[in-house]
Chain A
Amino acid sequence: MSSPWRVSLVAIGLAALALAGCNREERHSRSKPIGETVPAGTSPDTIWPGGTVAQTADPRARLYDNNAPAIAAGQQLYTQMNCVGCHSHGGGGMGPALMDDQWRYGGRIDQIATTIAEGRPNGMPSWRSKLTEDQIWKLAAYVRSLSGQPSKDAVASRAESMSSTTPQTLTPREPAHTSDTAAQ
């Protein structure tokens, strides 16, 4: 009679141990507003006069980069804020393609968030006044999933809409190159 008790106790102990490791599903829907002082993500192929300065990773990246609810919220914002009108489902159109390996202004999540917030000269509108920081970072997390950057178990296989690109759960991760400036 006693042996099944021992087995279940061991199992529960193991589960508690692993509890700390996994925040893929952690939902957080509130974060502090955009502060002017927050360092903006610099574009990738900048020349650092006098030698490259060590880049500190933005602390918010950990909250959004592989977070499934954030990517799902980003997917809904991507449609509702009309990003799909210019960038389609990653193929591009009025705006550049987001599912390939070329990132003119940087492919890190903080760089994408800066592009969304500040806008870019050739027609990317600035969303700073229309979206909160939390929404912008969720959008950036979804944009990265268009090129397969986050882990496969954090992305959605499809949306409740017409099927377009191959499911993100099956597309390989695009290597992140720097910009293809010739394509201005």
Chain B
Amino acid sequence: MRRVVDAFLVTLLCTATAALTGCSRSEPRQQLGSATVYGTVPAGDHAVAAPAASPADDGNWVMPGKDYAATRFSALNQVTPANVSKLALSFTFSTATSHGYEAPPLVVNGTMYLITPFPNYLYALDLTKPGAPTKWVFKPKPLAASQGVACCDTVNRGAVYDAGKIFFNTLDGQTIAVDANSGQQVWRTQLGDIQKGETITMAPLVAGGKVLVGNSGGEMGVRGWIAALDEGSGKLAWRAFNTGPDKDVLIGPRFKPFYPMDQGKDLGVRTWPPEAWKIGGGTVWGWLSYDPETKLVYYGVGNPGPWNPDQRPGDNKWTTGVFARDIDTGQAAWFYQTTPHDLFDHDDINEIILADIPWNGQRRPVLFRPARAGFFYVQDRRTGQVLSAAPFGYVNGYKGVDLKTGMIIPNPEKATHAGRVVRDICPASPGMKDWNPSAFSPLTGLVYIPHNNLCMDYGAMQANYISGTPYVGADVKMYAGPGGNRGAFTAWDPIHQKKVWEIPEDLPVWSPALVTAGGVVFYGTMDGWFKAVDARTGKQLWRFKAGSGIIGQPISYRGPDGRQYVAVVAGVGGWAGAIVSAQMDPRDPTGALGFANAMKDLPQKSTAGGILYVFTLAR
């Protein structure tokens, strides 16, 4: 009898252990850093960049998106998959700052301009001379106190060159124009007020004689707006708020949202509890695109405040959505709300790529949006109608997007309420992809998406509002999503809405992407690898170990000597790298609004410090 009992116990034990090991996510454990091919590059007709918004490449890089269509595509093709392995370091430059470096270097006719995170120095480097010595440095001297209201590292996402002037924003809410040759200030306009918690970190968009700037501070109870300054004088042309009555939001007769959920009078007031819209967030800190043909500027709006959804019942218009406005008057043309009554801080500020796709026989003007909630949106850019939306990673916070009503279908199990932690919400607050923009190649028709693979536990609580202090009301802990890799670099076919190839990465891929006509895609990882992969197959071709994690925008330009150069600035930081750039203590998992829990190992993998690296093919 004893033996029977022992046998039974043994079998019981081993079935239990088998069940335990088997229950981690079913996906096979991919080999980090190597591509898994899911399909082939679509043959035949495929998407092309919107013609008006993507003029021919003159070898310069004058704005972060490369062009108004935000393709981040360089037409230079000297570097090809065959010879990319011979890329060599041409010169480097230290920016003397130690916070997250998210901006691209700008190259204009033989001069490279670098805008650094706080204290926002502007360097001009003379590319014509060997070693690119510094021509001049412009120091805007922003207020030191502004560091206290910058929620997710004191970053700056880039400057813009236009008509002889460099335009950029400073952390303490000023927009400055500097003469590109002499480095003298042309004009300076104060737009944000740090006492209210407002900062500015975005790269402006200069088009139609206007400089478009939006504020940051969704976590500080700021009321979001976008402002247009006259390019010459810096005087305010118009300012459109993202909450409040229609006259503040510049909504007038021209406003025709496609879906009924966005139609109605003064929705910016009626979808909020009284007074809540005044401190309701909806900031504009991401990317703008512009279609010169229709003179419409497209931009996304940030998250509603506070993170605790119970404190702001209602759809919380016009947060977490996409606006299209006329650039001259600021009047809104259409709006589409991606996540009404946002539950997980899914700001909708990601890049908007303007493209024309084949649509039963003729070309349809659309916009591509790899959105933060995890869906790749293809929308008609004239009306905002959602043509298709498919998840480009593991999503359980939402069940899908209903194309008839345009409404995202929430998953009630994951609905966050004050007083109880909701576990295992995917994607986490930084979303399937945060601010770091993807690149679109008209040659392959694919969108190259650098993104995360994170889930989170989310515990909302009552938030108290004191101007100038954080107005969040949630504890968050993030961790790796299914498969155990915290990031991935995905090539996405926007027409058939499916993955072509994907490279799983250990750390979240927080660097923007660059694709060149030569068929090479460049991106960086947070532990400092600057990688080049084949645009068609994702095979890794070349990589370089930089001094710090890479979250900056790689660019490619034609140097004075006519050769193709590739440049990137390494400097870990931003929200994902705050654990390093802000010297946080990894023992607190809820640090940096929960990101610290997912990045405990980053301090061993990367130190802080912003350095420029410029490569070219060895002679």
Direct contact between the two chains A and B in their complex (CB within 8 A)? yes
Within 8 Å by CB of B585, from A82, A100, A161, lies A100
Asked whether A94 and B585 contact (CB < 8 A) given A82-B470, A85-B469, A164-B590, the answer is no
The size class of the interface chain B forms with chain A is: 35 or more
Asked whether any CB of chain A lies closer than 8 Å to the CB of B2, the reply is no
Chain B nearest CB from A183 CB (Å) reads 5
Complex Cα gap A125–B471 (Å) = 15
Taking CB atoms, residues of chain B closer than 8 Å to A79 are 461
Interface residues of B in 222-247 (CB under 8 A from A): none
* CB-based contact A88/B148 at 8 Å: no
Chain B nearest CB from A142 CB (Å) reads 15
Complex Cα gap A82–B219 (Å) = 11
* CB-based contact A122/B588 at 8 Å: no
Complex Cα gap A164–B585 (Å) = 13
Asked whether any CB of chain A lies closer than 8 Å to the CB of B165, the reply is no
Chain B nearest CB from A178 CB (Å) reads 16
Complex Cα gap A91–B206 (Å) = 39
Q: Type the 1/0 row for B557-588, where 1 means its CB is closer than 8 Å to any CB of A.
A: 00000000000000000000010001111111
Asked whether any CB of chain A lies closer than 8 Å to the CB of B185, the reply is no
Q: Please tell me the number of chain A residues within 8 Å of chain B, measured between CB atoms.
A: 31
Asked whether any CB of chain B lies closer than 8 Å to the CB of A123, the reply is yes
Taking CB atoms, residues of chain B closer than 8 Å to A100 are 585
Q: Type the 1/0 row for B436-477, where 1 means its CB is closer than 8 Å to any CB of A.
A: 000000000000000000000101010110101111100101
Asked whether A183 and B583 contact (CB < 8 A) given A82-B471, A130-B466, the answer is yes
Within 8 Å by CB of A92, from B150, B463, B468, B582, lies B582
Taking CB atoms, residues of chain A closer than 8 Å to B583 are 92, 96-97, 183
Chain A nearest CB from B500 CB (Å) reads 37
Taking CB atoms, residues of chain B closer than 8 Å to A88 are 584, 588, 590-592, 596
Asked whether A89 and B590 contact (CB < 8 A) given A97-B583, A122-B148, A162-B477, the answer is yes
Q: Type the 1/0 row for A70-92, where 1 means its CB is closer than 8 Å to any CB of B.
A: 00000000011110111011111
Complex Cα gap A9–B144 (Å) = 66
Taking CB atoms, residues of chain A closer than 8 Å to B578 are 93
Complex Cα gap A88–B588 (Å) = 8
Q: Type the 1/0 row for A92-107, where 1 means its CB is closer than 8 Å to any CB of B.
A: 1111110110000000
Complex Cα gap A66–B421 (Å) = 31
Asked whether any CB of chain B lies closer than 8 Å to the CB of A121, the reply is yes
Asked whether any CB of chain B lies closer than 8 Å to the CB of A124, the reply is yes
Complex Cα gap A154–B587 (Å) = 22
Asked whether A86 and B470 contact (CB < 8 A) given A94-B151, A123-B145, the answer is yes
Q: Type the 1/0 row for B82-102, where 1 means its CB is closer than 8 Å to any CB of A.
A: 000000000000000000000
List 4 tightest A-B contacts by C-beta distance, closest first. A123-B148, A85-B470, A91-B588, A91-B591
Q: A93-B584, A94-B149, A161-B461 are in contact. List 4 more A-B contacts (CB 8 A).
A: A86-B469, A89-B588, A91-B588, A99-B588
Q: Which residues of B contact A (CB under 8 A)?
A: 144-151, 219, 421, 457, 459, 461, 463-464, 466, 468-472, 475, 477, 578, 582-593, 596
